[in-house]
Structure 1
């Protein structure tokens, strides 16, 4: 991979990591469901008029829009609005890797390796410590929402795995047509028209800028470049870069939002990231073994879905 391409990939990780801090800033101006609705509206329009619909039926597009849009981002924004910090959210959301492989094992019959179980146990220990954080950056309701968002992300990964679109960016853009109206109705139903009106009248340049950041750098630029990397280079070379997302997410939250980073939280983050590392490199090793076997033969039926966990949907 040329240095310029590598630096571009790292830039995408920076954008996706700091996106959690930007979401926190945006929630100061917008109702969470309204913010999510606008995010997907701007991601879909006007892009759908210029990007051809992917070669998949409407059903996976609708399901992906439901779980990726309403489930993942609706719950993520709501959880952060309920007091779950941006930095921790960037870490906890990466649990989607475990959800993805666990669901693939349960629903698709894919085998789960011993190292995956070890990685899951380590990450679960980190999550137990997250629940014990008392510095004001964690709430019970927020934790449930964010963990639920990571689960919806895992389900969305299986949907895109089954759909196998020819263009991940086009798939995301067209699926983004699904969430705006339901999310807007949720905002209207929970807060009334006054909440919607207040969001628009008080958003200012900061609120508008955060919304535009979530759409254009985070989705359109990030997904286009990430999709190019996945098509051009081996997944085993590209996937490990996603481990940078929670690192940049936590760092940006500490620097720009003043999120406290005590010993307990640092330990919890370390355990979750360590669990992700164990899972990531176990998956990569299996992909390498599958692609370059010493003794050519049938591909084992239970190889974990590395392509799913390395899709652009990894970063939000």
Structure 2
């Protein structure tokens, strides 16, 4: 009897996944630099508009339809608020209190919270691996926040709250999409979610922010273009393309490269400290996330 061979992962899919995760990881230190010059809402809304323009251009080049049935609009608005508005807004606010490395680690606990919400909403009871993953991730967060003392931890508490809020709401959006799928083509769904998701950020920015365009240097403009064109536009397209070629479990585990790139690039470009505390916290958190995904 001939043994069954395990199919090899698609090489193009792996390359697309690598490009996506590196692109997303590098955006964290870029956002940290931009937020030193511009308000959060203005920065994220501006990058979102650029990313939306890229996605629309790709959609028109492919001549894909953007039609959405009326029955899907409530679901589309809800997922846009959870997957884009909450994620982009709250995760960015966390950078006002946390370093780029710390914010990356906190926000990428998403799969752990998704596992818990899948239990509550989808009835997917977590096994020992997911429970162990949750405990590992929480221990990593505790070390990250309290490793330099309770006083420093309390100073960072607002940033941790924003980061966890973004991760939890994004996870809720993932589970809601799983429970009530949109059934739209990936590019169409991305265009509408980005467009609807950045709309509240843009309206809030217009109402409360007073950005000074003169404050932006050429580097700042380049970082803003990078966040819009690459991190939000092209990386989302490469992510969906990778999902079409790879098993979902492999693609999800591949996203663990993103916080590693974020932490490493923050240390390299911003000079953020990366000692035993950061390394141990990242190891515990990512191990927990990996267990949750495999479980």
TM above 0.5: yes
After superposition, give the CA deviation of every residue in 1:164-199 in whole Å (9 maximum; x if it has no partner). 4343332121112223342233234444xxx22x1x
Q: 1:21 to 1:54 in 2, by over 3 A?
A: farther
Q: Which range moved further: 61-70 or 240-249? A: 61-70
Q: 1:185 to 1:164 in 2, by over 3 A?
A: closer
Q: Give the deviation of 1:4 after TM superposition.
A: 5.2
Q: Which range moved further: 228-237 or 247-256? A: 228-237
1:66 matched residue in structure 2: 81
Q: 1:65 to 1:201 in 2, by over 3 A?
A: farther
2:25 matched to 1:17? yes
Q: Check whether the contact 1:30–1:207 (CA below 8 A) recurs between aligned residues.
A: no
Q: Over aligned residue pairs, what C-alpha RMSD do you find? A: 2.3
2:198 matched to 1:180? yes
Q: Give the deviation of 1:34 after TM superposition.
A: 0.8
2:115 matched to 1:107? no
Q: Give the deviation of 1:160 after TM superposition.
A: 2.6
- 159, 162, 171: which one pairs with 2:189? 171
TM value normalised by structure 2: 0.85
Q: Check whether the contact 2:47–2:228 (CA below 8 A) recurs between aligned residues.
A: yes
2:292 matched residue in structure 1: 279
Q: Give the deviation of 1:157 after TM superposition.
A: 1.0
- 110, 125, 129: which one pairs with 1:96? 110
2:231 matched to 1:218? yes
Q: Check whether the contact 1:48–1:174 (CA below 8 A) recurs between aligned residues.
A: no
Q: 1:180 to 1:228 in 2, by over 3 A?
A: closer
Between the two proteins, the alignment pairs up a number of residues equal to: 276
2:174 matched residue in structure 1: 157
- 41, 44, 59: which one pairs with 2:52? 44
Q: Check whether the contact 1:12–1:226 (CA below 8 A) recurs between aligned residues.
A: yes
Q: 1:204 to 1:165 in 2, by over 3 A?
A: farther
Q: Check whether the contact 1:96–1:154 (CA below 8 A) recurs between aligned residues.
A: yes
Q: 1:133 to 1:98 in 2, by over 3 A?
A: same
1:132 matched residue in structure 2: 146
1:119 matched residue in structure 2: 133
Q: Check whether the contact 1:133–1:265 (CA below 8 A) recurs between aligned residues.
A: no
2:6 matched residue in structure 1: none
After superposition, give the CA deviation of every residue in 1:23-71 in whole Å (9 maximum; x if it has no partner). 1122123210111111222222364472532656112221122122221
**2:183 match: secondary structure:** coil
Q: Which has the higher contact order (CA 8 A, sep 6+)?
A: 2
2:263 matched residue in structure 1: 250
1:33 matched residue in structure 2: 41
Q: 1:5 to 1:110 in 2, by over 3 A?
A: closer
Long gaps (5+) in structure 2? 1-8
TM value normalised by structure 1: 0.80
Distance 2:266 2:44 in 1: 20
Distance 1:273 1:35 in 2: 28
Distance 2:146 2:91 in 1: 20
Q: Give the deviation of 1:93 after TM superposition.
A: 1.2
- 66, 85, 95: which one pairs with 1:53? 66
